[in-house]
Amino acid sequence: MEVLNNYTIMKSRLLLLSVLLFSFQVSSFAQSASPTPSPTPSPVLIYDLKLDKTGRSVNYTFFKDGFLVVEPGESSFSSIVVLTDPNKFTFYKAANFVTGNYSEVRDYAGRRDVVLFGSSSSSDNAALQVVGPMDRNTGVGGDMKAVYAEKMTGYLLASAPEVFTTSSNGTVTSFEYGYAGFSKATAEYNRNLTRRVNSEGLNLSGAIDFLEKYLTGRGIPGPTPTSSPSPSPSS
């Protein structure tokens, strides 16, 4: 009888020890299986874009300025171009007018340069390329730092055909001139807007939306361009 009691006590102690060991293992696993932190967000860089017509052109008078939105972590950029209609003297903006690739290269001296090259997918047949040295390494908002170019230069090429709109009886109701031309393009880093979009944790598309609202708040309608109210052509 005493042997049976000792066996029962020992079995109870072993069971209790097993429970304690199992509980410790579960607790240790729960601590090591905590969620993996999300990847560090990629900073977004905003540049003021200035466009100055150069060389020969046809009806190429309305490209003035805008913004470039760069997301180096995604190797991409987009743009908003503010257009000045020479007939109404009103402004409108084209969101995502030119989109393309961000890349980093080294020149013959071993210095790092930024190259942005992109084109439009619309009837405007536009292409943009700007290049600049990576000469800055500072905070860009949202507790993020980036190495970037303070200034980039290059060219914009854009063209589009004439567009006629007619009624059912053949009357011309509206007409847009075709155009073709070049602009010297200068992109300069906008510190304040860059910090604002990164502080809000915006990605490239979110920054485009932000800039649309930014321009709209300053009296520039968009994002859909309006037709140029040019005179109807003579028959």
pLDDT band of residue 176 (cuts 50, 70, 90) is low
Q: Which of 35-44, 89-98, 116-125 has the lowest mean pLDDT?
A: 35-44
pLDDT tops 90 at residue 117? yes
pLDDT tops 70 at residue 212? yes
Contacts 24+ apart (CB under 8 A), 80-86: 80/208, 80/211, 80/212, 80/215, 80/223, 81/49, 81/51, 82/215, 82/220, 83/225, 85/226, 85/228, 85/229, 86/61, 86/62, 86/228
Tell which residue, 60, 225, 220, 23, has the closest CA to residue 155. 60
Domains of the chain, residue spans: 1-34, 45-216
134 φ, ψ to 5°?
A: -80, 90
Tell me the mean pLDDT in the region 200-228.
81
Q: Is 158 helix (H, G, I), strand (E, B) or coil?
A: strand
| CA dist list (Å): 220 to 107, 119, 158 | 40, 23, 21
pLDDT band of residue 37 (cuts 50, 70, 90) is very low
pLDDT tops 70 at residue 125? yes
Average pLDDT, the chain: 77
pLDDT tops 90 at residue 15? no
113 touches 130 (CB < 8 A):
no
Q: Which of 1-10, 162-171, 174-183, 209-218 has the lowest mean pLDDT?
A: 1-10
183 touches 53 (CB < 8 A):
yes
145 touches 164 (CB < 8 A):
no
Tens digits of per-residue pLDDT, 56-104?
A: 988 888 788 999 999 999 999 999 988 876 655 556 677 888 999 999 9
Tell which residue, 70, 103, 97, has the closest CA to residue 183. 97
Whole-number pLDDT of residue 24 = 39
Enter the pTM of the model: 0.74
Tell me the C-alpha distance between 154 and 83, whole Å. 19
